[in-house]
Structure 1
């Protein structure tokens, strides 16, 4: 009876991941870093950004903003934990060229601006601008279907459909 009243049977278990950056969509296997390409942190995909702006790919809560501002963790409404890692070996930049617009505990919507970064500086000082988007609690995922290819537009291009167990 209570299940009917409170609708717990219809609990949302699917999430659409929207592009957090404008640029070229890549398979995670194409990322030139084994931590990501071998899915050591989880599965997902990546974008090679054409502009220095990262937005939220989901509705959720910011669970981590790295002190070096190069990575953001978000927990979605259905409990997926996403890591957006801007560039490769950008931790060595110690935050130079990165400006965060959110803090831990902030609620975000799809398209909420997270980080602005100097794309040219990242090209100059880091190994790559490629930005992995990884589901770090992938053991909680039942299905992961990539639906985006080619070019992505931040805040609007659908990248993947994820169903939670």
Structure 2
């Protein structure tokens, strides 16, 4: 009633019907099922894709809020406006590096836009000391996904190449 009298409109937060997830690194697309780590390859944490990086910069694959930065700097969680929770995990067994070779550019609570720089990492160090440089990108709350379409582009560019289109419940 007061809104009608004073002409103020209630702000509505509209939830998107679709989210697009782009590659966070430049490299070669690898189907999630081919990741040589059962946690990711068997989709124990969720579904997504992976990329074998060709360079050591990780950008935001989506816009949203940084909800988790692992103390070892090897993984970051982002929540999108549609409430998807995305985990980006740089390399396999990189937790054992204890942050060595990683330079963070964000912290928990930061708002990021698709393509913003999140982490620089030493690709050669990861090749030398970790199991793999393969970087999985996982939707960890798959209950939010109504439908998912995976693009099959092989050579991908960080912040540019769309790899997942996710339909959300309305």
TM over 0.5: yes
Pairing of 1:56-135 with structure 2 (within 5 A)? 56-135=60-139
Alignment partner, residue 34 of structure 2 = 30
Matched residue SS, 1:149: coil
How many pairs are equivalent?
162
> Does the Cα contact within 8 Å between 1:55 and 1:114 map onto a contact in 2?
yes
Structure 2: segments with no counterpart, 5+ residues? 1-8
TM-score of the superposed pair, with normalisation by structure 1? 0.94
Q: 1:75 to 1:11 in 2, by over 3 A?
A: closer
Aligned equivalents of 1:60 and 1:9: distance in 2? 14
TM-score of the superposed pair, with normalisation by structure 2? 0.91
Q: CA deviation at 1:128?
A: 0.2
CA RMSD of aligned residues (A): 1.7
Structure 1: segments with no counterpart, 5+ residues? none
> Does the Cα contact within 8 Å between 1:148 and 1:157 map onto a contact in 2?
no
Aligned equivalents of 1:6 and 1:159: distance in 2? 36
Greater CA radius of gyration, 1 or 2? 2
Q: CA deviation at 1:12?
A: 1.2
